[in-house]
Amino acid sequence: MFAAPVPWDPARIRANVSPSGKWRGAAVVLAVLLTFAIGFGSSRLPIVTLGIVLVVAGITLLAMVRTYLPSLVILLCGTVDILVNVRFGVVSVMGLTTVLIAGLAWLAWLVVPREGAGALGLIWPWLLYILWNLASALIWAHPSVEGIQNLFVTLSFVGLMLLCASMPERIPVHYATIGRMLGISGAIAAFLYTLSPILGVIYPPLAIQARSFALFAILGICWFLADSQAGNRRALIWAGVLSLLVAASLSRTATAVVLVLFVLAHFDPRRLKGWMMLLFTGLLGSAAGYYAFTQVESIRSRFVEGDTSIKIGGLAINGEGRMGMWTATVNSFKESPWLGHGIGTSSELIERLYAPMTHPHEDYLRILHDLGVIGLVIWVVAQVSLFVIIGRAWLSARSAGRSEARIHQAAVLSMLGMCMTMVTDNVIVYAFIMMPLAILIGTSLGTIKASRSGRRVGEDTEEVRQELPEPAMGV
């Protein structure tokens, strides 16, 4: 899908993640011994033998997926909300998958104490946020299924950040792999969304919702915009293709966010050229938005027809019932402003008052209602700390002309996109958005950590450039 201008040597990467020859030999001997032991024990102590088999299988699975888990998760999330639509009773397949991924991510991080411990210093506020979520569940004692699912989305988000933050020290070009996976996942999502009218007829859960696709596509657009800043013109084309699909989805918030991200992607606050480019792209984006609003009837009707309860200046905007849901959430929040009502209770409130709606469609209000002012303050501190750490790394890498600036810029743009969409949507409880976002952020943090420790990340030194060939890496 795009060519990455980074050195790429699979053999070198395998050397960083594969065991040495003596360990491979030991593994073969151990496998033979285990085979004999299991064969003998199955006739004597079947239950104990089954337990041993499950433990060995779990450890083996963990060892196999640790390196590839982030890539697999990103590809899986390319199905967007299909797995959310397929359900077993009250639990969706995506919910079950989120629980599994959360467990694997935390376990995979815990098995590398030296590398994993360094990541804690970068994201410690998020550990406080998890603790407050757990405390909320204990305080109210009876979290709903919705609340438990929300908790596991948060656990998977932080777990994947920790895991990815520990990986670039072992895999020098890990960020390039993550970029490739985001590109592939965006292509999968676009393909499935384009076919949704047909797939929906065959089996309704296979149809991707327009708003879900638009929100997920923002992640791919952020990577392509960052990659285009590194000189990859094809990346800008793919960013444009995904942006057109977002606009065609008629998702107003996502479309507005994409326009803002296109403007910010070209912004360099330390140079006059950056401010001029910001002004130019801002005017261009505003003109495009105005033209679409005034000339495209389907887009205009999405704004001015229906529930026009939201007033912006003299313009009445179709809020699709949001104003009523927001008012109800705020009134309920006032009953327990500091501690909140417990995770998942905002969804219960909206479902009770505005069924079939099940979300407040405003994630800041969701956090306030469920976790109180304390929870929102912790979340803001955690989010701002990421902006500061990654933003500084982006500006530094950009000034030095290092290609790792792409992963930092993509992470910053994605976090900005999430914060903007939270105003009218429910992204923090969508696992198919939060898990890839966590991987992007964690990879950025890991690249920062590797750079600080003197590890070579990509082509940042002349020695690495001479040592590795530079074939194009396509998708």
Query: CA quadruple 100, 103, 107, 110: dihedral positive or negative?
Result: positive
Bond from prior residue into 356 cis (ω within 30 degrees of 0): yes
Say what the pLDDT of residue 138 is.
79
Say what the pLDDT of residue 37 is.
58
Beta bridge partners of residue 88, listed in sequence order: 91
Write down the mean pLDDT value for the chain.
Answer: 79
Give the model confidence (pLDDT) of 441-463 as tens digits. Answer: 999 998 888 777 655 454 433 33
For residue 306, CA distances in Å to 212, 249, 309 come to: 21, 18, 9
Q: In this model, does residue 317 exceed pLDDT 70?
A: no
Cβ 285 vs Cβ 258: under 8 Å: no
Mean pLDDT, residues 60-73 taken together:
75
Mean pLDDT, residues 14-42 taken together:
52
Residue given tokens 């060519």 in the structure block? 3
Give the model confidence (pLDDT) of 103-148 as tens digits. Answer: 888 988 887 656 656 678 888 999 999 999 988 887 776 778 888 8
For residue 161, CA distances in Å to 106, 108, 111, 397 come to: 10, 12, 15, 21
